[in-house]
Amino acid sequence: MMDKTMIRLSEEIERLREQMHKRSEKVGISHPDIMRLSRKLDKLINQYLYYTRCLKVF
Question: Cβ neighbours of residue 48 under 8 Å, at least 6 residues apart?
Answer: 6, 9, 10, 13
Tell me the pLDDT tens digit for each residue of 6-52.
999 999 999 999 999 999 999 999 999 999 999 999 999 999 999 98
Full-model pTM: 0.87
C-beta of residue 9 within 8 angstroms of C-beta of residue 48: yes
Q: How far is CA 41 from CA 1, 31, 50, in A?
A: 23, 15, 14
